[in-house]
């Protein structure tokens, strides 16, 4: 499911698929994306690349276009691969940078950037 909060410029995506379940926050206000993978009990955070992600105003339209929803290989889909690295717990400086929605999603979990 996808929830778009245009006022706060935040998109919340929930994927419920057993061991592959995840929650993702796209915070267009801060420019960060965070994904919480439940199987790994960790959060992965990256800078939102404006050249690869659709603008918030366009995202709602893209989400409901039947053609986009039918194919995994749509040019509107973005695939990200995270490399193994060192994790750390977020501190106050991180949460100021990432914003409250990402803090609520990832607080207390190892962060991978």
Dihedral sign of CA atoms 74, 78, 83, 88 in order: negative
- What pLDDT sits at residue 84? 53
Give the span between the Cα atoms of 16 and 31, in whole angstroms: 25
- What pLDDT sits at residue 31? 92
- What pLDDT sits at residue 112? 83
- What pLDDT sits at residue 109? 86
Number of domains the chain contains: 1
* pTM as predicted: 0.73
Tokens of 11: 């998109």
- What pLDDT sits at residue 32? 93
The DSSP secondary-structure symbol of 12 reads E
Range of the domain at 88: 2-111
What is the mean pLDDT for each group of 10 consecutive residues in the chain (113 residues)?
87 85 91 88 87 77 59 50 57 82 88 82
CATH of the domain at 44: 3.30.390.150
């Amino acid at each position: 499911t996808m929830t778009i909060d245009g006022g706060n410029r935040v998109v919340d995506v929930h994927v419920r698929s057993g061991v592959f379940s995840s929650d993702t926050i796209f915070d267009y206000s801060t420019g960060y994306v965070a994904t919480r993978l439940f199987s790994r009990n960790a959060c992965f955070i990256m800078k939102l690349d404006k050249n690869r992600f659709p603008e918030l105003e366009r995202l709602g339209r893209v989400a409901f276009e039947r053609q986009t929803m039918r194919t995994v290989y749509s040019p509107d889909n973005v695939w990200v691969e995270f490399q193994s690295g060192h994790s750390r717990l977020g501190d106050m400086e991180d949460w100021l940078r990432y914003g409250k929605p990402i803090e609520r999603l990832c607080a207390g979990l190892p962060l991978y950037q």
